[in-house]
Amino acid sequence: MRQRRWIEQLKDYDLTISYHPGKANKVADALSRKSGKKTTLASLSARPCLQETVKLNQDRNPEPTKLKGQVESGKSQDLQIDDKRVLWMKGRLCVPDSGNFRQEILSEAHKSKFSFHPGSTKNVQRS
């Protein structure tokens, strides 16, 4: 279950994990030895890509741009704009209907090796 939680946390990030065969992996040997100096042997960089992609689609689509204007003028109570200028409705990300972007998100969520269905009873309990 711990692995599933980590997978759930990391699925929205664009990661690359590289394998180095035994003899070529000098970093592993260096990690097993003590040293008086602090040295950075490797670094990991991850960035969320779904929210950035949604923001780009919101900026390109006229409907979310119009809704952002309503929020800024105080005409909409259900919508919010966060500090990165991303549009949210009642705490949920607003995904614009542009091209097949929604379909890509749904297929990623359903066809991914990391997705699972908790069962009908859990879904009923959550709602």
Domain-wise residue ranges, the chain: 2-32+42-100
Instruction: Compute the half-sphere exposure of residue 47: CA atoms within 13 Å on the CB side of its CA.
Output: 3
- Residue 114 in contact with residue 102, Cβ under 8 Å? no
pTM exceeds cut of 0.85: no
pLDDT-derived band at 121 (thresholds 50, 70, 90) equals low
pLDDT at residue 86 is higher than 60? yes
pLDDT digits (tens, 9 = 90+) for 87-118: 898 888 888 887 788 888 787 777 766 666 66
